[in-house]
Amino acid sequence: MSQVLTQKALAAALGVNPRKVTAYKARGAPIPDRGPYDVEAIRGWVADHFPRSPSGKSKLAKEGPKEQSLTRRKLAAEVRIKEAQADQEEAKRDRLRGSLITVIEAKREITGLMIKLKTYLLAVPRSYADQFVHLETPAEAEALLMSVLMAQLETVSDSASEAA
C-alpha cells in the first residue's frame, strides 16, 4: 500500500494538479483532511469515477448535460453519505470516551436534578419558617428568602457537579 503525507505529494503521485485533488475530494474521493493518503485507494476511486475512453479522455467529458447532472448528483449523494457515516463514527467515539451522552441519559439526569431541586425548595418553608416570623418588613423577608433560595440552588448545583 503506497501512502504519501501531503496533498501535494498525492497530486504528484496521481499525476494531477493539487487543485484536482481538492476537486476529487469534493466529489467524494476517500481523501481524509490530513495525511497519510492511500494513493492506491484514491487512484482506484478516480479510475471508477472517471473512466477513460480508448483515446485517454475522460468519459465524463463525452456525457451530455443530463448525464453529467445525474453523475454530479450521484457524487454529491455519495459525499453526503460518507459525511453522515463519518459523523456517526465520531459520535460513537465521543460516546465511548464519555464526552457524549444519549438523550435518554440526559433526560434521566435532568429529571433527577429537578426532583432534587423540588425536594430542597419544598423544604424551605418548614426549615426557615421560624426566621420569617421575626422579620418586620417585606424587604427583610425578600432578602432572607433570596439567600435561602440561593443556598438551596447552590446545594443542587454542587450535587450536580459532583455527579458529573
Q: What is the pLDDT of residues 135-161, one digit of tens each?
A: 889 999 899 889 888 888 888 788 767
Is the bond into 51 cis (omega within 30 degrees of 0)?
no
Task: Give the start-end residues of each E strand in the chain.
Answer: 3-4, 37-38
Mean residue pLDDT across the chain: 82
5 pLDDT band (50/70/90 cuts)? confident
Higher confidence at residue 163 or residue 142? Answer: 142
Exposure b/e, 141-161, CB count within 10 A at least 16 = b = eeeeeeebeeebeeebeeeee
Specify the pLDDT at position 111. 92
Q: How big is the CA angle at 66 (ends 64 and 68), to the nearest 5 degrees?
A: 70
Specify the pLDDT at position 107. 93
Count CB neighbours of 14 within 10 A: 19
Specify the pLDDT at position 60. 47
pLDDT digits (tens, 9 = 90+) for 25-72: 888 888 888 888 888 888 888 888 876 645 555 544 455 556 657 777
